[in-house]
Amino acid sequence: IEEYHRVRENVSYTEIVHLSDALERLRLAPQYSVMVHTAWVQPLLGKDEAIDVPLGYAARSTTSSLHSGSPEPVSPRMSGSLRVYGDYLLFVDLELKASLPRRAGAQSDEEAQATSFTSIIGGTGAAGTEAADAFEVFRISEKRRIKLEEFHYFDHPYIGAIVSVTRYEQPDDNAAIQ
């Protein structure tokens, strides 16, 4: 609950501007599917004070203003968080978990771990219901130093993320409108 309040107090969700061209190209490409997209404004804090901003389905319960300008809802298939922190250098910690419909011949990270674990103890493999077997779970867990105003790609064979951090200049209320 404390982290929930920290996010609500420090993060202001907004429309995507800086990545809008990349987002549109991904939407038009038949081999890609945009599962989640979001943008927000937050203060830059040190590592210990930084905020884990929820992404995907978890973000929906965090704030009602999420994706206020977005034409599509947050996907329940993707969840995770992104933490931006730094001082002279800028860092991003990304945690993503995606549940995708099972593809023939593909093995998720959790299946690979379960298979190797059960083969060590002599088990027969992971058991599950038909509904659970219809989906695979894939994860990205990465900490990376990034540069301001650049695109950064976080890749996995089945999922990926594009992250860009830009400086936010608060509009001057006293500026004349022309």
Cα three-residue angle 62-54-17, rounded to 5 degrees: 100
Sign of CA dihedral 61, 23, 41, 177: negative
Over its length of 178 residues, how does the chain's per-residue pLDDT go in tens digits?
A: 566 667 777 788 777 777 888 888 888 999 888 888 888 888 899 999 998 999 876 554 444 333 443 434 334 488 899 999 998 899 999 999 998 887 765 555 555 555 433 333 333 344 444 555 678 899 999 999 999 999 999 999 888 899 999 887 766 655 444 3
pLDDT at 10: 77
Q: Which residues contact 51 (CB under 8 A, 6 or more apart)?
A: 3, 6, 7, 10, 11, 42, 45, 83
pLDDT at 169: 73
The token pair that represents 173 in the structure block: 């209320």
pLDDT at 8: 75
Round to whole Å and give the CA distance between 150 and 163: 8
pLDDT at 82: 94
| Residue matched to tokens 């995907």 | 56
pLDDT at 115: 41
pLDDT at 167: 85
